[in-house]
Amino acid sequence: MTAALPPLRQIPISEAARLTPPKLRIKTDDDVACWRDTRGYHDYGLFLRRLNESVVGYFLPYSSPSMTQATTSILSMLDKLDSWINEIPPLPTPQRFGNLAFRTWGKKLEDNVDSLLTSLLPSEFAASIPLISPYLVTSFGSFTRMDYGTGHETSFALFLLCLTLIRFFEPLPEQERDLVLVVFLRYLRLCWRLQDVYRLEPAGSHGVWGLDDYSFLSYIFGSAQLRESDISVTTILRRPLPPTNLYFLSISRIHEVKTGPFHEHSSQLYNIATGVPRWAKVNSGLFKMYEAGTLGRSPGQTSRSPTYSFGRPYGMGHYFFRSDET
């Protein structure tokens, strides 16, 4: 239960106002080692585990009994970003991956991020905007490489963490559940649309050696939803899957974008389905895999193993804390 986890710290806006914006700092293995000793790394790990615990036993579709204005506002922001796709259609260029219109969409996000956050946040949070805007900008893919991966997904999770540290969101089970089953789900659907319309390439994909070409957190949260259920892990091998949790939704998404035998193009997920007997073990194992494979490797490091880099987030190692904080 979430109550058994430590509370998430609060960063007063008065303190945030004195900090410098985050910069890209994780470039080498030594940088990764330094980052793992920071308060920021431990904040993020605690935040994910609190989100994870908040959704155990809750299924989709989920109707929040007490949705806050903060949740409603961030959904409106994501809806607006989605509407930009209609305004910026893909260019009729014969490219297999990365339609150039995605750069136009990304430029619009970069140009309007401050106004988006000004509309999202009450005026008392204004000092935090330069500190959190880089995470929002990098949450949807690389506008240079025209790709998307788990590093960009992590940037969005860090964006939500920053909003919780300053208490735009409260770290309460009900609001944490909304962050996963309402906000993150909306973000996921937006990213799926961006990938489809602009044909984004997977960032750092290693094919069958990866869990998923684009995402990871949806599998962690989805396995948490199923953790206390009597549904067999092997259920994912039987189609169609009901859209009752993020794990099943993500598997169904794979079937939409890939062809061929599941055990060939998604061997990691197949091995989990056939070799892990309980969702609780799936959930704990995916946390370890995420920490080692997404958070624990430098951008250029690759390995043909379940713990290689799935894509790199921007600036994960330095946010909302002083340069001398460890």
User: If you write DSSP's letter for every residue of 120-138 in order, what string do you get?
Assistant: HS-GGGGGGHHHHHHHHHT
CATH of the domain spanning 2-293, picked from 3.40.50.300, 1.20.120.1150, 3.40.50.150, 3.30.200.20? 1.20.120.1150
User: By CB neighbour count within 10 A (0-12 exposed, 13-18 middle, 19+ buried), where does 65 fall?
Assistant: exposed
pTM: 0.90
Q: Give the residue extent of every domain in the chain.
A: 2-293
For every residue of 5-71, DSSP letters joined together read: SPPPP---HHHHTTSPPP-----SHHHHHHHTTSHHHHHHHHHHHHHHHHTTT--SS---TT--HHH
Within 10 angstroms of residue 62's Cβ, the number of other Cβ atoms is 17
pLDDT in tens, the chain (326 residues): 555 899 999 999 998 878 888 888 888 888 888 989 999 999 999 999 999 999 999 999 999 999 999 999 999 999 999 999 999 999 997 777 899 999 999 999 999 999 999 999 999 999 999 999 999 999 999 999 999 999 999 999 999 999 999 999 999 999 999 999 999 999 999 999 999 999 999 987 555 557 899 999 999 999 999 999 999 999 999 999 999 999 999 999 999 999 999 999 999 999 999 999 999 999 999 999 999 878 876 555 543 333 222 233 333 333 332 233 33
